[in-house]
Every structure is written in C-alpha cells, then in structure tokens.
Chain A
Amino acid sequence: QSVLTQPPSASGTPGQRVSMSCSGGSSNIGSNAVNWYQQLPGTAPRLVIHSDNQRPSGVPDRFSGSKSGTSASLAISGLQSDDQADYYCAAWDESLNTVVFGGGTKVTVL
C-alpha cells in the first residue's frame, strides 16, 4: 500500500473535465508541497504540476493542481486523447524521511 492514496482509475470523454485525488497525512501533504507526474505508456514520467499548483513551462493550462489540508487534487479540463496516461502524486514525508508517491491513477479517455 502506498502512503499517498489515489483512486486507481478515472475516465472522461474528449472535452470533459476529469479530476483525481491524492490523500495523505500531516507528515506529507499536510506539511510539504505536492507534485504531479504524467506517465504515458512505455515512457518516463513527466512533471505536470509542482509546488501544489504550479505548471512548468510547456504544460498546457488545462492541467491544474490544488491542495487543502492533507489532500491534493489534479484536474484536467478539455480532456484530450493524449491525456490518457497514469498520473502520480508525490511529496516529502517527514516521518518516513523519504519521498512518497501515490499508487497512481489511470486516466482513460472514452
């Protein structure tokens, strides 16, 4: 089991908005920044959100991140077929003294 909990799957039709959660605790999300990664099949992860809600250059503004307390969310608006991928959240955990990842959410574009 992962320290950060993500739903295993999410789906939507092209153009829709899909969101996914990342639930943790006071030692990780509650006190440290959350980062999100997109992993297309057979490729390396790609950063899509850092520092809770900041988009790196080159990432479409359709991607947005938010955080409240010990939970974070990633939303994708205007869903496209290219967005079909696994998405992982990550944060530093002060109790475990390690970076922890969520188990990943598989986004399917119907």
Chain B
Amino acid sequence: QVQLVQSGAEVKKPGASVKVSCKTSGYTFISYGITWVRQAPGQGLEWMGWISGFNGNTKYAQKFQGRLTMTRDTSTSTAYMELRNLRSDDTAVFYCARDWTTGWYDPWGQGTLVTVFS
C-alpha cells in the first residue's frame, strides 16, 4: 500500500533551520509530485509548495520564498522540506502528501511537529 512516513518531531530555536523528510513507498516515486502543507496549532491548512518527483522542479508559496527549499532523492524515494530562519509563528505540524494534481493530495504523511521555542 502507498505510505508516506515523515521524520520525527523537532524543537528549534528562533533563527535556526529545520529539515523534514518524507519517505514514500508503494508507488513509483517519479510519477507523482509531493506537496507540503502546514497547520499551526488550532488553525487550518496552509499550502507551502510542491516538488516534482520526476525532475525536481519546485513551486513555493510566495510567503515562504527565500527561506524554503524542497528537494528529493529518487534513489530512496524520499522528499525533503527545509525551512530556514525559523520564527515562533512557524510552530506547526508539517505534512507531506502525494500530489495527483493541484489541490488533490492522497495519501498524506502522519505529520511532523516543529516547535520553535527560545
């Protein structure tokens, strides 16, 4: 079955960086993209960006431009999301999801809690 398994929770200080991994299995990695979505505590879902599994092309939400980088490793079918210069309001659960097309994500990873705390 298709699975996306994310790395564990992180605690970071303001100004630091975090890199979250999303290891996929059960499907051909290069046939789909991976989208990243975050959810602040008690809040809704926020699209961060997308990376093509095929060629690594990326598209980021404007608000994250300059401090967000998405990469992938086709040899391990794993996608990565790195967010730099963390602030307290970046505290959130970060999800990866297999991207069928824009807005259509299935399935999702279990989520990774990133806490930014001084």
List residues of chain A with CB under 8 Å of any chain B CB.
2, 32-35, 37, 44-47, 50-51, 56, 88, 90-92, 96-104
- Complex partner residue of B108 from A32, A35, A44, CB under 8 angstroms: A44
Given contacts A32-B103, A90-B103, A92-B103, contact A102 B44 (CB under 8 A): yes
The answer to whether B103 touches A34 (Cβ under 8 A) is yes
The secondary structure that dominates the B interface is: strand
Alpha-carbon distance between A99 and B106 when the two chains are bound, in angstroms: 15
Interface size class on chain B is 20 to 34
Instruction: Say how far B58's CB is from chain A's closest CB, in angstroms.
Output: 13
Alpha-carbon distance between A32 and B103 when the two chains are bound, in angstroms: 9
A-chain residues with CB within 8 Å of residue B45 when the two chains form the complex = 37, 45, 88, 90, 101, 104
27 residue pairs A–B, Cβ–Cβ below 8 Å = A32-B102, A32-B103, A33-B103, A33-B104, A35-B103, A35-B105, A44-B95, A44-B108, A45-B37, A45-B45, A45-B97, A47-B105, A47-B106, A50-B106, A90-B47, A92-B102, A96-B62, A98-B47, A98-B61, A98-B62, A99-B35, A99-B47, A99-B103, A101-B45, A101-B46, A101-B47, A103-B44
Alpha-carbon distance between A102 and B46 when the two chains are bound, in angstroms: 9
- Complex partner residue of B44 from A2, A34, A44, CB under 8 angstroms: A2
- Complex partner residue of A56 from B103, B106, B110, CB under 8 angstroms: B106
A-chain residues with CB within 8 Å of residue B111 when the two chains form the complex = 44
